[in-house]
Amino acid sequence: MNTVDFDLQYAPDDRHALLTGDDTASRTHVNTLSFTVADKVTGNKQDITDRNLDEPIQARYIKLNVTKAITPPGMPFGFMSSSSMRSPASTTPPPPMSAM
């Protein structure tokens, strides 16, 4: 399984109250945000993909938008096993965020 085409998007801090998760109010709020594409990958064939942005970004919201994935037969969706984002000035990387 592989994420073939995807992009990383971000939105700045809007000073909105902390979102509570996957509920109607949170989804509605996120849908009103204006996201900017920070990086785009097409034709990926790697099992592990490391990306470095040319310029730093400041963001409160990060969205991984998968537009094409190779999945096993009978599995209509892809998934991500882990992710981490950090500043190049960071000396200790944060633990990966595991997908549920």
Q: Give the CA-trace dihedral at 41, 68, 45, 65, to 10 degrees.
A: 40
Strand 61-70 relative to strand 2-11: parallel, antiparallel, unpaired?
antiparallel
Residue pair 83/6 in contact by the 8 Å Cβ criterion: no
Structure tokens at 83: 């992710």
pLDDT, one tens digit for every residue, the chain (100 residues):
678 899 999 999 999 988 887 899 999 999 999 999 999 999 988 888 888 888 888 899 999 988 888 877 777 666 677 777 777 665 565 565 554 4
- 59-77 residue pLDDT tens: 999 999 888 888 777 776 6
> DSSP state, 33?
S
